[in-house]
Amino acid sequence: MYGSASFNFKDWLNVDITGRNDWSSTLPKSANSVFYPSIGAAFVFTDALNMRGSVLSYGKLRASWTRVGNDTDPYQLAAVYGSGTPWAGSPSFTAPDRLPNASLKPEETTGKEVGADLGFFRTS
């Protein structure tokens, strides 16, 4: 599921909000839902404060925050045995090289960004 909303005030303040939810089949049912919110804002201070001049012709401050998630590879919750080469007419199997973890949770990472866009010496 995904949703977004954008707000604008007098063309000098913009706010964008998003939300996304994913469900992963590779995580335990108790922790398979991952929600990713984000918010971003931009403020054109030269327009809002009527600061346009001969040196500074455009100025905008912006900031954003987001959280993203990640699931895992398949077959990490339980031991899965692979079929090997038959030996003397009997089937053989290989044991996994990793220990399973039935209580895995999604990985979450948070990102932040702040910046400025500035324009100088533009006469028009």
pLDDT in tens, 57-100: 999 999 999 999 888 888 888 888 888 888 888 999 888 888 88
Residue 104 pLDDT: 87
Q: Is the pLDDT of residue 2 over 70?
A: yes
Which pTM value belongs to this model?
A: 0.75
Q: Is the pLDDT of residue 110 over 90?
A: yes
Contacts of 5-8 with CB under 8 Å at 24 or more apart are none
Q: Is the pLDDT of residue 22 over 80?
A: yes
